[in-house]
Structure 1
Amino acid sequence: MSVSLNLFDDSPFLAAANGRKHLHTPVWFMRQAGRSLPEYKAIRGSGSILEAIKQPTLSAEITLQPFHRYGVDAAVLYSDIVVPPHAVGFGIDVAPGTGPVAETPFRSLADLQRLRPLEADDVSYVIETVKLLVAELPTSVPLLAFAGAPFTVASYLIEGRPSRTYQNTKRMIHLEPELWHQLMDRLVQHSVTFIDAQLTAGARAFQLFDSWAGSLSNADYREFVLPHSKKVFHQLRELHPEVVGIHFGIGCDHLLESMYEAGPRVMGLDWRTRIQSARARLGSDLVVQGNLDPALVLAGSQAALAGAERVLDDNANHPGHIFNLGHGVDPTTDPTVLEDVVAFVHEKTRIEES
């Protein structure tokens, strides 16, 4: 297959994100920078990830490591979804082996005073990291900004640590809906300000991670979450009309239509939702991101490449496809398997320029 030259005027990632063909299907991986890479372990040092993020030179180097190793088509900022509440002094950190842990969970209106609005200056170190990366990356490889969606960040603040049931979060939703919506409004402001700061500094697309939205029924999602996620996408579209937004969650097949209604340009799919099914439900022109099962990567190159081929077959040569895993890279992943996946996807989907 060949395409005309005028379709090659931007990066593979940005072309696919806008539903256009390019030289090959673009690839990047959620959590591509971090604990799975030996070069990361060599420079990371000890201490919290939130302290490492405050060192722009270190953060930039970590962000670039998977680009240099894998040849991915996008770099994603080395950061964390709890950077905004941490930056305003809420009292939350990322505990190794556990995840985000809040010293004093959010449980009352008084706690809203501890979660003041975010200002760009609060995350000046992130802005500096973005500027370093934009100067270093080739123009064909965009830097992706990201933030946690209001619901997922709220669940960490309320539960105080990762949860399987989100009982405290759901209790607040149903027993104190006014407080819930006040908290969500504050977290909308955090998400928008954090992503806007990254985009203004030079990032060229963004992903909103609603990792734990799948714990909700569709009815609860639509009433208590969707209006706030809509605000994030709407406000960022007003600030950056040409920038592509991606929406992603885990176990969200039952929320697919509702999450797309929030307003992303690209829907991120986990490994349980088929690409063809998503397009049948949301429209044939849907741009999707995903969705190789991360467990197949842990099973080695043969299993990973067979799974990658199934994903590509499911996409059926649709131009609007960004290849990714259906969740983040596991820390125990063998980097050589991801190297093989990137090379395979690029070669399998490569088209000739006419």
Structure 2
Amino acid sequence: MDHRRINDTFLKACRGEKTDYVPVWYMRQAGRSQPEYRELKEKYSLFEITHQPELCAYVTRLPVEQYDVDAAILYKDIMSPLPAIGVDVDIKTGIGPVIANPIRSLADVEKLGEISPEEDVPYVLDTIKLLTREQLNVPLIGFAGAPFTLASYMIEGGPSKNYNKTKAFMYAEPKAWFALMDKLADMTITYVKAQIDAGAKAIQIFDSWVGALNVTDYRYFIKPVMERIFSELREKNVPLIMFGVGASHLAKEWHDLPLDVVGLDWRLPIQEAREMGITKAVQGNLDPAVLLAPWEVIEERAKAILDQGMAHPGYVFNLGHGVFPQVNPETLKRLTAFVHEYSASQKK
């Protein structure tokens, strides 16, 4: 029987409970700037690493061991489940996900299949089991991409700066759009529930690019499908986190959804979010570019964010987006220690 003691500070903060200090983890903490990871990447692609549970577990737990963060996030990509439903995707270095069979019509949407996680992505579930049953002493965060963000890659054929094709498809082909949203919602719900059943203790949904939409379009084209996803995931009784980039204008819309934590990027100060009426737990939101500044600047910015975050129960320190490859791992280690020590001193 497993008698490891799990540090549940992160889970308590997600639920809005009192904690002895502010918990911290970093988006893209696994990989990116770590020399051990870079060495692995010379031999293996992202998909090759994720297909090997021992290797993937190693990459996932590295930042926990090196930085002393309060949660691990599974090393994988939001594209990981898409091949199972018939999307021909490859992650190309320096470009990102590239889709060989982009969506152009309702017929293309109807060709998409369903995911069976145990058969299609067993390696993801095996990695989760390995980490949660044997290796981690902090909660593991599972994750998935939200339908809009996945659809943007599937329609554009790869990364985009303006999402013009995606929005044009949404406006011109509403029947096909909603059919695509439903297909991706079904996949997301099934995929995420399997992650939770395997041992994930919290879930983050990344709608990385939904900030490209205005509030009116979000409410009509996106919010109903997100309501369905979070409502179905609620049954699993784990904290649910929402995050996107450049989406401050949608923070109140997210707050309305049946989730636990509103993730903020660096554009919206936590204090302003609270003044807007966001009462749920929040996560964020140091600009990751600050990590390249001198330590005095990092400490000053982190302290200001912590002061705002600690003004209400339910706060998780994070970046406003992912760690850059250029960030020194020692900086993340030092920042984690600062967040822990400073917040503990303020809570006494």
TM range (shorter): over 0.9
| Equivalent residue, structure 2, for 1:66 | 63
How far apart are residue 109 of structure 1 and its match?
2.2
1:305 to 276, 299, 304: 299
Supply the RMSD in Å over aligned alpha carbons: 1.9
Q: In the aligned structure 1, how far is the partner of 2:7 from the partner of 2:60?
A: 21
Q: In the aligned structure 1, how far is the partner of 2:59 from the partner of 2:347?
A: 34
1:44 to 41, 45, 55: 41
How far apart are residue 309 of structure 1 and its match?
0.6
Is the CA contact 2:149–2:207 (under 8 Å) kept in the aligned structure 1? yes
1:280-325 CA-partner distances (Å, limit 9, x unpaired): 2234x42100000101002242222111111012224423100000
* TM norm structure 1: 0.93
**AA partner of residue 266 (structure 1):** V
| Equivalent residue, structure 2, for 1:176 | 173
After TM superposition, the structure 1 = structure 2 runs for residues 163-312 of structure 1, keeping only pairs within 5 Å, are 163-238=160-235, 240=236, 242-283=237-278, 285-312=279-306
Moved more, 40-49 or 220-229: 40-49
Identity, % of aligned positions: 46
**AA partner of residue 108 (structure 2):** D
How far apart are residue 138 of structure 1 and its match?
4.4
Q: In the aligned structure 1, how far is the partner of 2:136 from the partner of 2:345?
A: 21
* TM norm structure 2: 0.94
Is the CA contact 1:300–1:337 (under 8 Å) kept in the aligned structure 2? no
Q: In the aligned structure 1, how far is the partner of 2:136 from the partner of 2:158?
A: 38
| Equivalent residue, structure 2, for 1:4 | none
| Secondary structure of 2:24's aligned partner | coil
| Equivalent residue, structure 2, for 1:331 | 325
**AA partner of residue 131 (structure 1):** K
- For structure 2, list consecutive stretches of 5 or more residues without a partner in the other structure: none
How far apart are residue 20 of structure 1 and its match?
1.4
Q: In 2 relative to 1, CA 46–282 (structure 1 residues): closer, same or farther, beyond 3 Å?
A: farther
1:57-112 CA-partner distances (Å, limit 9, x unpaired): 11100001100100000000001101111233310121111111101211112322
After TM superposition, the structure 1 = structure 2 runs for residues 70-219 of structure 1, keeping only pairs within 5 Å, are 70-120=67-117, 121-139=119-137, 141-219=138-216
Q: In the aligned structure 2, how far is the partner of 1:48 from the partner of 1:231?
A: 34
| Equivalent residue, structure 2, for 1:347 | 341
Q: In the aligned structure 1, how far is the partner of 2:53 from the partner of 2:136?
A: 19
Moved over 6 A (4+): none
Q: In the aligned structure 2, how far is the partner of 1:314 from the partner of 1:230?
A: 29
**AA partner of residue 332 (structure 2):** L
- For structure 1, list consecutive stretches of 5 or more residues without a partner in the other structure: 1-7
Q: In the aligned structure 2, how far is the partner of 1:9 from the partner of 1:333?
A: 28
